[in-house]
Amino acid sequence: MKVKVAFICVANSCRSQMAEGFAKYLGSDIFEAYSAGTKLAERVNPNAVEVMKEVGIDISSHKPKLLDEIPPKVDILITMGCNVECPYIPCKLKEDWGLDDPDGKPIEEFRRTRDIIESKVKELIKRIKNNEINLD
């Protein structure tokens, strides 16, 4: 049975979309990955799409989603550091990754954020595979 992980941000246009992309690409064997926001952006940020494409992950078909478009209960809830209180979503583990929003900044900031997210997703996968996270 796969671990349901949700990456939550404000507009679901950048950080949470990149995290979902990495989780699906790197952890497809253990994750059911979702992302959503507390308010809806018009589209996924083109710079997020571009920097993910640079590492071979295509998120161009992703669309911003609201919280009610993902499962009502997940195993792991990751907030991106949006300084917004999310509505209650039942979960077994909640973490805040505290990432600055690169929106409106140079593409180098998107790359830096992408690389941090990749590292954090890899670490999350390792923790799950090594049974360092209790999801019972």
Catalytic residue among 44, 80, 82, 117: 82
| Rg, Å, the chain Cα set | 14
Report which of 94, 109, 90, 1 is spatially closest to residue 48, judged by C-alpha positions.
109
Q: Any catalytic annotation for residue 9?
A: yes
Catalytic residue among 3, 6, 8, 9: 9
Quote the CA–CA distance of 117 and 92 in Å, as a whole number. Answer: 21
Helix (H) or strand (E) holding 6: strand 3-9
Q: 5 forms bridges with which residues in the sheet?
A: 33, 76
Catalytic residue among 86, 117, 121, 124: 86
Report which of 90, 76, 78 is spatially closest to residue 135, judged by C-alpha positions.
76
Q: Any catalytic annotation for residue 91?
A: no
Q: Which residues are catalytic?
A: 9, 82, 86
